[in-house]
């Protein structure tokens, strides 16, 4: 996501900061800024757009920046649109601060600070942290930062300059990486290793809750209790490209492994008192969710599969009729839309041409539009009536992984919110659903333990030309996503079918040796799905079954199962999709495909 750089040493900080930030551009960003000590003053310069625009703004100051200590940041917008004022650093009378992560309880803190007379100029959660730290600071930087952390919920990495401590950079991390690096008569504080490679390869990876102070000749680290720690200096062996991937061989694999954090960042800020709460989307009014008697979900590709799962969730929990349509078909069939219809548009980039056209048609027809997007300030985000931002951070690989998971997470929150608003469930029932949702996030970590087993299955698919996916209910929607992921990066022709439709034609394609991946994660449908599995086995199919680890395989399925962490049926897609992503990834690697840039595909589809 965002990039942090802190520097103190003997070189001009402005040059080091801009150079280091350029090494982090691969992470994606929409604005940037720096703060530099000039004598006892801190100068802050920020700009919307690329680093070149920040450089132009610095040059336009007609001033020589000679300071040798400062902090810099590249921002990927989450709270508040991309703009000069929302860019980091955020500077107060006592300090300047940059931040990676999500402050989940920033709304409550902000309200308290406003009641005490603090004035806010941005819409960011970060400015809340800056003002709170300003309030807590009485001359002891480490003590004030430690106090700040006791008030914050969420994930964060901070780098801070205090006006009365020139030449010093302070930091802390929880749930977000932060690295202190040791140079010759200079030291660094960065969010990712590529930023330091032109200067040094000696670094210290801060642990959860660590506080750090760097000067030109020292690195001081304390744990969360204030006890000093001896820095464990490591040496980076990666080149620049390897460092950008965090040591993973491909961005796609890195992004698959980033899903638990992306899910936490997306879900946790939208839960208050155990219930779904969209207060951080400050444009959504209280009565919003009670206005509609029909919903249309419109999306393309992977986002459409998230919408298909959302349809099942909303209809099951809220009992509101939902249509889920491919955006490229939606506008050409004269859809029935009115003011009682909520149209939900799902798009990672927020620029998908067909989805944008559907949005405009819905607005012309008088329907209310709600965008679920990952890019703040994108066209769909700007033009929709209301917006919910997913907090996946940038996706570099063309094949979507973590964006799908966070889109799905938002659909769960919307479904539960609609059920509450319509009286279809009581608060205690909703809290139970939220508890299961949070449990599902943590269960995603267990899927990575299956990676070696999944690789073995993937290796057996290297020579395949065709493959079939089967599933029922939520598993059918998940099968469609698994099929898309495999075909788009491995180039194996594969199709997903509703398991109950086998006898209506599809089973004629099953011959001895035909590979079939069957999803059977829904206990309520397990017996029927297994019946379909037996049908294809009896015709010679080579089966791979994805099911809960509470399932005891029959003899004919022994050694042909991926056993997933068992959750309530409703939440199994979170663990199922990661297994399917890993299967697609490893299959593509074994077939020597360009995993991150599959042929003929683009990350953002901006033409119809």
Q: Note the pLDDT tens digit of each residue in 550-563.
A: 988 787 776 789 99
Structural domain contains residue 597 = no
Number of compact structural domains in the chain: 3
Structure confidence at residue 47 (pLDDT)? 96
Q: Report pLDDT digits (tens) over 10-33.
A: 999 999 999 999 998 887 889 999
Structural domain contains residue 321 = yes
Structural domain contains residue 375 = yes
Selecting among 2, 173, 425, 593, the annotated active-site residue is: 2
- Looking at the fold, whether 303 and 322 belong to one and the same domain comes out as yes
Are the C-beta atoms of residues 329 and 303 closer than 8 Å to each other? no
Is the entire prediction scored with pTM above 0.75? yes
- DSSP readout, 391-448? ------SSS-SHHHHHHHHHHHHHHHHHHHHTTSS-HHHHHHHHHHHHHHHHHHHHHG
Selecting among 229, 487, 560, 603, the annotated active-site residue is: 603
Structure confidence at residue 220 (pLDDT)? 97
Tell me the backbone φ, ψ of residue 582, rounded to 5 degrees: -65, -40
- Looking at the fold, whether 403 and 474 belong to one and the same domain comes out as no
- Looking at the fold, whether 463 and 570 belong to one and the same domain comes out as yes
381 is written with which tokens?
A: 């985000």
Structure confidence at residue 556 (pLDDT)? 77
Average pLDDT, the chain: 93
10-residue block means of pLDDT along the chain (608 residues)?
91 96 87 94 94 94 91 91 94 96 92 94 95 97 97 94 97 92 96 92 92 97 94 85 86 96 94 92 84 95 96 96 94 88 94 92 94 89 93 89 97 97 95 97 97 95 93 96 96 92 82 92 92 87 93 79 96 98 98 92 63
Structural domain contains residue 607 = no
Q: What is the CATH number of the domain that holds 266?
A: 3.40.50.10490
Among 207, 228, 244, the domain boundary falls at 244
Q: What is the CATH number of the domain that holds 107?
A: 3.60.20.10
- Looking at the fold, whether 396 and 515 belong to one and the same domain comes out as no
Structure confidence at residue 605 (pLDDT)? 66
CA distance 577 to 584: 10
CA distance 183 to 62: 30
- Looking at the fold, whether 318 and 374 belong to one and the same domain comes out as yes
Among 428, 445, 462, the domain boundary falls at 445
- Looking at the fold, whether 194 and 334 belong to one and the same domain comes out as no
- Looking at the fold, whether 471 and 559 belong to one and the same domain comes out as yes
Among 445, 479, 500, the domain boundary falls at 445
- Looking at the fold, whether 272 and 413 belong to one and the same domain comes out as yes
Structural domain contains residue 60 = yes
Question: Is 425 annotated in the active site?
Answer: no
Structural domain contains residue 606 = no
- Looking at the fold, whether 363 and 426 belong to one and the same domain comes out as yes
CB atoms near residue 253 (< 10 Å): 22
- Looking at the fold, whether 119 and 131 belong to one and the same domain comes out as yes
Range of the domain at 206: 3-244
Structure confidence at residue 508 (pLDDT)? 82
Structural domain contains residue 605 = no
Structural domain contains residue 603 = no
Taking phi over 0 as left and psi of -120 to 50 as alpha, with beta for the rest, 148 belongs to alpha
- Looking at the fold, whether 239 and 387 belong to one and the same domain comes out as no
Question: Is 2 annotated in the active site?
Answer: yes
- Looking at the fold, whether 222 and 310 belong to one and the same domain comes out as no
């Amino acid at each position: 996501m965002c990039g942090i750089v802190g520097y103190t040493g003997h070189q001009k900080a402005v040059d080091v900061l801009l150079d280091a930030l350029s090494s982090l551009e691969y992470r994606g960003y929409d604005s940037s800024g720096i703060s530099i000590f000039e004598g006892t003053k801190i100068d802050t310069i920020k700009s919307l757009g690329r680093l070149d625009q920040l450089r132009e703004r610095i040059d336009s100051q007609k001033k020589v920046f000679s300071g040798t200590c400062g902090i810099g940041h590249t921002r990927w917008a989450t709270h508040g649109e991309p703009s000069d004022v929302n860019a980091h650093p955020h500077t107060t009378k006592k300090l300047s601060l940059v931040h990676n992560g999500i402050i989940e309880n920033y709304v409550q803190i902000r309200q308290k600070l406003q009641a005490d007379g603090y004035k806010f100029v941005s819409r960011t959660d970060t400015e809340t942290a800056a003002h709170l730290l300003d309030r807590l600071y009485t001359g002891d930087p480490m003590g004030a930062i430690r106090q700040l952390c006791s008030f914050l919920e969420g994930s964060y990495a901070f780098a801070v300059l205090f006006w009365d401590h020139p030449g010093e950079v302070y930091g802390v991390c929880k749930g977000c990486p932060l690295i202190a690096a040791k140079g010759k008569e200079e030291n660094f504080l960065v969010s990712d290793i590529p930023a330091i490679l032109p200067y040094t390869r000696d670094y210290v990876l801060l642990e959860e809750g660590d506080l750090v102070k760097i000067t030109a000749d020292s690195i001081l680290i304390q744990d969360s209790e204030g006890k000093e720690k001896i820095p464990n200096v490591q040496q980076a062996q990666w080149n620049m490209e390897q460092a950008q991937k965090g040591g993973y061989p491909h961005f796609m694999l890195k992004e698959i492994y980033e899903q638990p954090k992306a899910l936490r960042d997306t879900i946790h800020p939208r839960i208050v008192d155990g219930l779904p709460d969209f207060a951080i989307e400050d444009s959504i009014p209280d009565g919003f969710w009670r206005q509609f008697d029909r919903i249309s979900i419109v999306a393309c590709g992977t986002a459409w599969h998230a919408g298909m799962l959302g349809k099942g969730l909303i209809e099951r929990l809220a009992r509101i009729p939902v249509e889920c349509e491919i955006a490229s078909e939606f506008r050409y069939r004269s859809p029935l839309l009115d003011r009682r219809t909520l149209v939900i548009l799902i798009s990672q980039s927020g620029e998908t041409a067909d989805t944008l056209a559907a949005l405009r048609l819905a607005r012309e027809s008088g329907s209310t539009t709600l965008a679920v997007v990952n890019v703040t300030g994108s066209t769909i985000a700007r033009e929709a009536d209301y917006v919910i931002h997913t907090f996946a951070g940038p996706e570099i690989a063309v094949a979507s992984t973590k964006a799908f998971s966070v889109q799905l997470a938002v659909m769960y929150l919307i479904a539960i919110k609609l059920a509450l608003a319509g009286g279809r469930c009581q608060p205690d029932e909703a809290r139970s659903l939220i508890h299961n949702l949070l449990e599902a996030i943590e269960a995603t970590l267990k899927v990575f333990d299956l990676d070696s087993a999944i690789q073995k299955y993937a290796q057996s698919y290297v020579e395949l030309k065709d493959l079939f996916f089967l599933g029922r209910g939520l598993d059918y929607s998940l099968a469609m996503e698994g099929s898309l992921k495999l075909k788009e990066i491995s180039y194996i022709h594969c199709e997903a079918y509703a398991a109950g439709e086998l006898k209506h034609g599809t089973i004629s394609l099953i011959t001895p040796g035909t590979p079939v991946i069957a999803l059977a994660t829904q206990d309520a449908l397990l017996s029927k799905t297994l019946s379909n599995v037996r049908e294809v086995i009896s015709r010679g199919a080579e089966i791979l079954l994805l099911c809960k680890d509470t399932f005891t395989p029959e003899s004919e399925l022994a050694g042909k199962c991926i056993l997933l962490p068992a959750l309530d049926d409703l939440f199994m897609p979170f663990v199922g999709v990661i297994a399917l992503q890993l299967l697609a990834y490893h299959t593509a690697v074994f077939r020597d495909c360009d995993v991150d840039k599959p042929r003929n595909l683009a990350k953002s589809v901006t033409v119809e």
